[in-house]
């Protein structure tokens, strides 16, 4: 094995290090090993050797798109069962990625995203209304309510489809199918191939869930064809867009792949960000006060408008600092294009798999100094942020790398800015359990575990 000289935990024959990995939060195992073995270590899993890096210096090296690419394996490979070569799960050599990317990029431009503001506002208001009605003594299951918000927002803004999660106690069948599908995709990725034949019931439900996802998306597509509108949303771009390079349009199958892809890729991550942001603010009263003061000063008690979004630098810094300490995608996979040398001394073969441990590289003391693990939004104010990114490239990577970075970033950003602003404007928040300490729940993304808060109206709802 060419990677032998890289340090790492000793493994057992056949299974390697697989049995040492915490099933619920693999992240905690990676972090423990990073403490023990340092900025680069290797682990042996049944599917091969993986090299894990956790410093800004090495993450920066692995972000080089000439030497490394995004592999599609593990849970991503399983997600392909529903969305095939859609944007998120397409392999490097699949032409469908380039076609969809070029057709859809303009739909994420500034004018297009600003055009979605009113619909984002509408869904956020539904959430605020719910919390106001439930009153100051109700314990809010934060991650659940934010997940309803982000799914409803995406479906409404992107394809004019209403899940109406706040009007029903039962979630829409699509939402249950999506949750079941994502959990099972993660589980299947950890199951050796032969064993999977013993999971007949799980397999049946898995394929049924996929059927619900695809049927719902087909329904959205059919309905738009039957009732054309002047809306300039994502679905319109998918239906009408022509790839400038190949002259091709998206096929119906590809539209369905990508509609589901956006719903999958665009909800848990933003919901996790909002949940972590409130958790951090409540835990850091000085930052909380500054954030609320900024909202009061810039927006006051009147309606929030799209122009406000550029005038709230402290809220933006809170979101950046939250994604630094709690990246909702905490690990990013890479693979070597050719035989190469890492960190100036470790030879690795072509095809070598890597994991970039953002949860660690984001708190690298060489970049962030002694306060690396503290919540300090000030370091993420626009000028400081720009300086950091210039001096230490790739020191903050929550939205991924290069060509395969997040296409939905401007969407997520506007949504998160708006929701933070609206909630801080209208409520005071406190932990349900004052002794709560942040814990992680890890599925495909991470969120705070068992995080409940209470919301007291500051004045009438705006």
Residues known to be catalytic? 269, 399, 406
Task: Please tell me the distance from the alpha carbon of residue 46 to that of residue 21, in angstroms, as a whole number.
Answer: 12
Stretch that binds ligand HEM, among 51-59, 247-255, 346-354, 394-402 (CB under 6 A): 394-402
| Cβ 460 to ligand HEM shortest distance, Å | 31
| 406 forms part of the interface with ligand HEM (CB under 6 A) | yes
Any idea what DSSP says for residue 16? B
Among 74, 330, 377, 398, binds ligand HEM (CB under 6 A): 398
| 331 forms part of the interface with ligand HEM (CB under 6 A) | no
Of residues 236-265, which lie at the interface with ligand HEM (CB under 6 A)? Answer: 261-262, 265
| Cβ 312 to ligand HEM shortest distance, Å | 17
Q: What is the gyration radius of the CA atoms in the chain, in angstroms?
A: 22
Q: Which long-range contacts (CB under 8 A, 24 or more apart) does 308-315 make?
A: 308/421, 309/117, 309/414, 309/417, 309/418, 309/421, 312/417, 312/421, 313/381, 313/382, 314/290, 314/377, 314/381, 315/291, 315/417, 315/420, 315/421, 315/424
| Cβ 137 to ligand HEM shortest distance, Å | 31
| 404 forms part of the interface with ligand HEM (CB under 6 A) | yes
Q: Which helix (H) or strand (E) holds 428?
A: strand 427-431
| Cβ 155 to ligand HEM shortest distance, Å | 11
Q: Choose between 250 and 406: whose C-beta lies nearer to ligand HEM.
A: 406
Which residues pair with residue 452 across a beta bridge? Answer: 141
Q: Choose between 134 and 409: whose C-beta lies nearer to ligand HEM.
A: 409
| 59 forms part of the interface with ligand HEM (CB under 6 A) | no
CA geometry: angle 345, 347, 353, nearest 5 deg: 120
Cβ neighbours, 10 Å, residue 93: 7
Stretch that binds ligand HEM, among 211-219, 326-334, 366-374, 449-457 (CB under 6 A): 326-334
Cβ neighbours, 10 Å, residue 417: 20
For residue 231, which of 282, 160, 135 has the smallest C-alpha distance? 160
| 180 forms part of the interface with ligand HEM (CB under 6 A) | no
Of residues 409-428, which lie at the interface with ligand HEM (CB under 6 A)? Answer: 411-412
| 399 forms part of the interface with ligand HEM (CB under 6 A) | yes
Cβ atoms of 326 and 446 closer than 8 Å: yes
| 400 forms part of the interface with ligand HEM (CB under 6 A) | yes
| Cβ 316 to ligand HEM shortest distance, Å | 13
For residue 108, which of 163, 158, 159, 162 has the smallest C-alpha distance? 158
Stretch that binds ligand HEM, among 18-26, 38-46, 57-65, 406-414 (CB under 6 A): 406-414
| 408 forms part of the interface with ligand HEM (CB under 6 A) | yes
Q: Is 279 annotated as a binding residue?
A: no
| 147 forms part of the interface with ligand HEM (CB under 6 A) | no
| 328 forms part of the interface with ligand HEM (CB under 6 A) | yes
Among 221, 332, 380, 453, binds ligand HEM (CB under 6 A): 332
| 353 forms part of the interface with ligand HEM (CB under 6 A) | no
| 115 forms part of the interface with ligand HEM (CB under 6 A) | no
| 273 forms part of the interface with ligand HEM (CB under 6 A) | yes
| 448 forms part of the interface with ligand HEM (CB under 6 A) | no
Residue recorded with tokens 């013993």: 198
Q: Give the contacts of 407 (CB within 8 A, at least 6 positions apart).
A: 87, 101, 104, 105, 108
Q: Residues in contact with ligand HEM, total (CB under 6 A)? A: 24
Q: Choose between 261 and 425: whose C-beta lies nearer to ligand HEM.
A: 261
Q: Choose between 166 and 399: whose C-beta lies nearer to ligand HEM.
A: 399
Token couple for 309: 């979004």
Question: Among positive and negative, which fits the CA dihedral 7, 9, 12, 15?
Answer: negative
Q: Which helix (H) or strand (E) holds 51?
A: strand 48-53
Residues 235-260: b if buried by 16+ CB within 10 A, e if exposed: bbbbbebebeeeebebeeebbbbbbb
| 120 forms part of the interface with ligand HEM (CB under 6 A) | no
| Cβ 400 to ligand HEM shortest distance, Å | 3
Task: Please tell me the distance from the alpha carbon of residue 436 to that of residue 271, in angstroms, as a whole number.
Answer: 20
How far separated are the first and last CA of the chain, in Å rounded? Answer: 63
Q: What is the DSSP string of 381-399?
A: SHHHHHHHHHHSTTS--TT
Among 44, 143, 269, 322, binds ligand HEM (CB under 6 A): 269
At how many degrees (to 10) do helices 285-298 and 409-426 cross?
90
| Cβ 434 to ligand HEM shortest distance, Å | 28
| Cβ 409 to ligand HEM shortest distance, Å | 6
Please give the residue ranges that form the binding site for ligand HEM (CB under 6 A): 70, 87-88, 101, 154, 261-262, 265-266, 269-270, 273, 328-329, 332, 398-400, 404, 406-408, 411-412
* Binding site residue list for heme: 406
* Binding site residue list: 406
């Amino acid at each position: 094995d060419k990677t032998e000289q890289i340090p790492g935990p000793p493994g057992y024959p056949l299974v390697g290090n697989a049995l040492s990995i915490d099933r619920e939060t693999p992240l905690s195992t990676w972090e423990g090993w990073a403490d023990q073995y340092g900025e680069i270590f290797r682990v042996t899993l049944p599917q091969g050797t993986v090299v894990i890096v956790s410093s800004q210096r090495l993450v920066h090296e692995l972000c080089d798109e000439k030497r490394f690419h995004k592999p599609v394996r593990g849970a991503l490979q399983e997600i392909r069962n529903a969305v095939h070569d859609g944007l998120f799960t397409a392999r490097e050599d699949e032409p469908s990625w380039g076609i969809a990317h070029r057709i859809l990029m303009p739909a994420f431009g500034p004018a297009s995203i600003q055009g979605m503001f009113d619909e984002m506002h509408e869904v956020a208001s539904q959430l605020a209304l719910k919390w106001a009605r439930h009153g100051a003594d109700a314990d809010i299951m934060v991650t659940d309510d934010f997940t309803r918000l982000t799914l409803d927002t995406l479906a409404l803004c992107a394809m004019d489809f209403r899940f109406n999660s706040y009007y029903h106690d039962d979630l829409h069948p699509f939402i249950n199918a999506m949750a079941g599908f994502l959990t099972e995709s993660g589980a299947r990725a950890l199951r050796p191939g032969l064993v999977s034949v013993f999971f007949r019931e799980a397999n049946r439900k898995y394929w049924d869930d996929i059927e619900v996802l695809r049927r719902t998306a087909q329904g959205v597509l059919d309905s738009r064809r039957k009732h054309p509108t002047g809306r300039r949303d994502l679905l319109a771009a998918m239906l009408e867009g022509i790839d400038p390079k190949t002259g091709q349009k998206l096929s119906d199958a590809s539209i369905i792949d990508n509609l589901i892809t956006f719903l999958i890729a665009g909800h848990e991550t933003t919901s996790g960000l909002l949940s972590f942001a409130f958790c951090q603010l409540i835990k850091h009263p000085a930052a909380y006060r500054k954030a609320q003061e900024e909202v009061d000063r810039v927006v006051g008690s009147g309606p929030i408008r799209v122009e406000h979004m550029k005038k709230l630098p402290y809220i933006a810094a809170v979101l950046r600092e939250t994604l630094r300490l709690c990246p909702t995608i905490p690990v990013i996979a890479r693979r070597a294009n050719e035989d190469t040398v890492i960190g100036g001394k470790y030879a690795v073969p072509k095809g070598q798999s890597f994991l970039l441990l953002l949860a660690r590289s984001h708190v690298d003391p060489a970049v962030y100094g002694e306060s690396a693990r503290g919540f300090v939004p000030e370091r993420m104010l626009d000028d400081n942020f720009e300086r950091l990114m210039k001096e230490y490239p790739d020191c903050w990577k929550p939205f991924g790398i290069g060509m395969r970075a997040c296409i939905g970033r401007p969407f997520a950003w506007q949504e998160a800015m708006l929701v933070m602003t609206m909630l801080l404007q209208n409520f005071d928040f406190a932990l349900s359990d004052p002794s709560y300490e942040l814990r992680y729940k890890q599925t495909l993304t991470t969120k705070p575990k068992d995080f409940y808060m209470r919301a007291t109206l500051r004045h009438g709802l705006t």
